[in-house]
Amino acid sequence: MDLVVGRVAKSHGVRGELVVEIRTDDPEARFAQGTVLRGRLPKGAGEKSFTVTAARHHAGRLLLSLDEVGDRAAADALRGTLFLIDAADVDSGDDPDEFYDHELEGLAVTTVDGTEVGILASVLHLPGGEVLAVRTPDDREVLIPFVRQIVPTVGLDGIVIDPPDGLLDEA
């Protein structure tokens, strides 16, 4: 299974720098000079390897220079490219409150009183915060804000939610 550590948002300047949305807790290691990144190109165009020549923070964003990208046109062509690592190369560590998305996907979701809600399909990383996308037994998708007040218990044996009135009701 692959994990996304970054996504190319757009080009920056005329020399081929890329603005990268960071999706890793260790960008200094993942995007260090000399690192070879595996990139999944947009629109199903396959994968390609890229070598980092420089990375810097600018205005709250990561600007990345790659050996294979020499100008703005080449950088523009990479918009939407996902930088990937193999999930087997990482673990969530010793902190019991930290998990990678792939460790949670597929877990059972129940309410605090034991009622089955469904199976976690994915964790959505939205501008307003993280949201759990849960597939219910009747094949509906329920979106649950991933905040401690609503999701008090998360573990590799399952997820327990305490939903406010109406959250699980059908639309």
Residue with tokens 């990375």: 55
Residue 8, pLDDT score: 93
CA 27-42-130 angle, to 5 degrees, is 50
Residue 112 has a pLDDT of: 94
pLDDT digits (tens, 9 = 90+) for 12-42: 989 999 999 988 878 898 899 999 999 999 8
- Domain termination site, one of 60, 89, 118: 89
Q: Are residues 57 and 110 in the same domain?
A: no
Q: Same domain, yes or no, for 127 and 156?
A: yes
The answer to whether 9 and 23 are in contact (CB under 8 A) is no
> Where is the domain boundary, 89, 119, 143?
89
| Plot region of 43 (φ>0 → left; ψ -120 to 50 → alpha; else → beta) | left
* pLDDT tens digits, one per residue of 86-133: 876 666 566 666 777 878 889 999 999 999 999 999 988 877 888 999
CATH number reported for the structural domain that contains residue 147 in this entry: 2.30.30.240
Reported as a single tens digit per residue, the pLDDT across 135-153 is 999 999 999 999 999 999 9
Is 171 part of a structural domain of the chain?
no
Task: State whether 113 and 77 are in the same domain.
Answer: no
Helix (H, G, I), strand (E, B) or coil at 84: strand
Q: Note down the domain range covering 72.
A: 2-89
Inform me whether the pLDDT recorded for 4 exceeds 90. no
> 59: which residues sit within 8 A by CB, 6+ positions away?
none
Q: How many domains does the chain have?
A: 2
Q: How far is CA 87 from CA 5, 15, 45, in A?
A: 11, 32, 22
Q: Is residue 18 part of a domain?
A: yes
Own/partner contacts of 111-116, CB < 8 Å, gap of 24 or more, are: 111/160, 111/161, 111/162, 111/163, 112/152, 112/160, 112/161, 112/162
- Do residues 52 and 115 both lie within one domain? no
Does 61 share its domain with 16? Answer: yes
Task: List the CATH number of the domain containing 82.
Answer: 2.40.30.60
